[in-house]
Amino acid sequence: MSEHFVFPVPASALEGTHCTKEQYDALYEQSINDPDGFWKDQAGRIDWMKPFTKVKNASFSGDISIKWFEDGTLNASANCIDRHLPERANDTAIIWEGDDPADSKHITFSELYEQVCQFANVLKKRGAKKGDRITIYMPMIPEAVYAMLACARIGAVHSVVFGGFSPDALAGRIQDCQSTFVITADEGLRGAKKVPLKANVDTALEQCPDVSSVVVVRRTGGEVAWSEGRDVWYHEAAATVPAECPPEEMSAEDPLFILYTSGSTGKPKGVLHTTGGYMVWAAMTHEYVFDYKQGDIYWCTADVGWVTGHTYIVYGPLANGATTLVFEGIPTYPDAGRFWQVCEKHKVNIFYTAPTAIRALERLGDEFVTKHDRSSIRLLGTVGEPINPEAWLWYHKVVGEERCPIVDTWWQTETGGVMISPLPGATDLKPGSATNPMFGVKPALVDQDGNILEGATSGNLVITDSWPGQMRSVFGDHDRFKQTYFSTYKGMYFTGDGCRRDEDGYYWITGRVDDVINVSGHRMGTAEVESALVEHDLVAEAAVVGFPHDIKGQGIYAYVTLFEGAESSEELRKELVALVRQEIGPIATPDFIQFAPALPKTRSGKIMRRILRKIAENEFGNLGDTSTLADPGVVDDLIENRQNK
């Protein structure tokens, strides 16, 4: 695939666009040269209770302090709901599409208002207050959104944990942020399969004695165990509280949410986002990147358990008064045409999904797509991992009928919202490239020593100045924040991604350069999987690497060394897989486990992952320099017994 393959902005994308090429150039320039002026204007998207006087106060050196709009006050839920009521009370805020295609409903802004106020009152009545951390472990039902906005309304900090995580993973996240409240449902429903959410919470809470309140939404009506006093049914509690709850006045730098994400070392980190800058960033990027116009039906297929769900299902679209579609199910149920059936049913205009879903659906054949009417779709988007040009072209041709621009959006949990992306009316597209920076974003490529590289080149991607949506800290561990993001290259935010810039200045993200792998768009620290494996009594040591996987983007390959005298077996392999699923969840299931008598190490005892990666990629003809290995013989055995043949 040549990178000279260019798709110019189609005339249809120019109609009523928020941003043409000329406007992009002018606004980008202003955002860099006059950030205070630019962001003062952009902050006008948000309703402030008390206006700010100071725009930006951020430093990437020393203790790393990031503040935006710091003396302003606001409430995120009021921005997503209350301010739309005067003109839009009866417009649809949320279209909910259930797992079963017969199940769907529309929720207006005035219904959303009542539901969120009621939810907020239930939390308050049970003692929740400003600053408390509330864990949300929910299926994709409207109550998940109500719960998030209810926390925001009373100034509590939500920590949403993806419903696919195991009880152990949930417990770790509850403990880390000392959360005393959990919101969950009896069961989730995905592809007609039940997910035992309440039972998982019960198991997790055996390790979390400080949780005093569990609010349970009834979804399936399945049997659940009950802890009197601690557990309460949401519908019962809601019936006793008013549907009015004034929004708490929050300072711009008060925390809005914590979201756990994997890094290259240690346990997942609690990425902390605050209120003012995040809301401005979410609203602005949602409008420009999706060229959102009032009345558009907008669908992001992510789960609210990930940052994409936070910013582009909940906060961005609702801040803009958009109709946001919340989908409970999976792309292949009842059949592989589900996405397109839903687009047809609800006349979706903007569709945003992950490359892994595109690749999986492409395999199942065009007919699932073409049998549904997609004429309402005007714009397509992707997020979460690099999209290979083949999948991009299929998405463009078959799904988008060659009419729809594709926005390939690069960003991270840490960045709060989109950082590098085409804008539909402004950017000529190149399949596989996230193209140009968003306003206010100053990307740079650096070499190993942190020297900034100019022109067409490859390097590690850093951002050299603050933007409003940036994470402010790691919850409870500011040193880890400094260490992880600002110590590799002094004075710059290090993304952990490698990147190439072409002769037109377009950015092409090449993937993680640290020990983080990206499996179906889900971030996973290899260290987390390794620590799950070594929990097993027979395992002495484990090393986990990623390898290219046709659908998942990357798969998980684990090398395991057993203690002297322990025997490897199929049985043990199964136990290890089960252990990883128990410690983390099904998304971390290893694709291959290779038992190895020893791992390749340097003389100082460091595991040489470069070699393990090559073997997992089946590229052992090209292992590079192995002369520093303590015992080069180890490698022959690894190659001989590789699993990925």
Q: Do the annotations mark residue 233 as ligand-binding?
A: no
The amino acid present at 301, given as its one-letter code, is T
Q: Looking at beta carbons, which pairs linking 622-626 to residues 24 or more positions away fall under 8 Å?
A: 626/600
HSE-up (13 A, CA, CB side) for residue 562: 13
User: Between the CA of residue 420 and those of 7, 485, 494, 597, what are the distances in Å?
Assistant: 18, 18, 15, 44
Strand-pair partners of 512: 497
Rounded Cα distance between 584 and 581, Å, is: 5
Taking the least distance from each CB to ligand WTA, the nearer of 306 and 595 is 306
**Closer residue to ligand WTA (CB): 409 or 436:** 409
Of 168 and 408, the one with the shorter C-beta distance to ligand WTA is 408
- Contact between 585 and 169 under an 8 Å Cβ cutoff? The reply is yes
Ligand-binding annotation for 18, yes or no, is: no
Whole-number minimum distance, CB 289 to ligand WTA, in Å? 11
Q: How far is the CB of 510 from ligand WTA (least distance, A)?
A: 8
Is 201 annotated to bind a ligand? Reply is: no
Strand pairing report for 297-300 and 350-353 = parallel
Shortest distance, position 482 Cβ to ligand WTA, whole Å: 19
Nearer to ligand WTA, 224 or 354 (CB): 354
CA angle 19-506-311, nearest 5°?
55
* 138 vs 387, beta carbon nearer ligand WTA: 387
Q: Which residues bind ligand WTA (CB under 6 A)?
A: 261, 306-308, 383-386, 408-413, 434, 495-497, 509, 511-512, 518, 523
Structure tokens at 432: 């596989």
Q: Toward ligand WTA, which CB reaches closer, 253 or 408? A: 408
Is 487 known as a binding-site position?
no
User: Does residue 464 have a known ligand-binding role?
Assistant: no
590 is in an annotated binding site: no
**Which residue has tokens 């046709």?**
550
Instruction: Tell me the closest approach of the beta carbon of residue 72 to ligand WTA, in angstroms.
Output: 27
Residue in this structure with the two tokens 């052992």, named with its chain if needed: 620
Q: How far is the CB of 637 from ligand WTA (least distance, A)?
A: 32
The residue among 337 and 521 lying less far from ligand WTA, judged by its C-beta, is 521
Total Cβ atoms within 10 A of residue 632: 12
Cβ pair 578, 572 in contact under 8 A:
no
Note the helical H segments in 184-337. Answer: 197-205, 234-238, 276-289, 307-309, 316-319
Q: How far apart are CA 190 and CA 241, in angstroms?
A: 31
> In whole angstroms, what is the distance from residue 393 CA to residue 382 CA?
13
SS (H, E, C) 23-34: HHHHHHHHHHHC
In the bound state with ligand WTA, the residue whose beta carbon lies nearer, of 276 and 553, is 553
Q: How far is the CB of 414 from ligand WTA (least distance, A)?
A: 7
Task: Please give the residue whose beta carbon sits closest to ligand WTA in the complex.
Answer: 413
What residues pair up with 271 in beta bridges, in sequence order? 259, 474
User: 340 a known binding residue?
Assistant: no
Q: State yes or no: cis peptide before 246, omega within 30 of 0.
A: no
627 marked among binding-site residues: no
534 is in an annotated binding site: yes
581 is in an annotated binding site: yes
Q: Which residues are annotated as a binding site for ATP?
A: 384-386, 408-413, 497, 512, 523
Q: Which residues are annotated as a binding site for CoA?
A: 308, 520, 581
Q: Which residues are annotated as a binding site for Mg(2+)?
A: 534, 536, 539
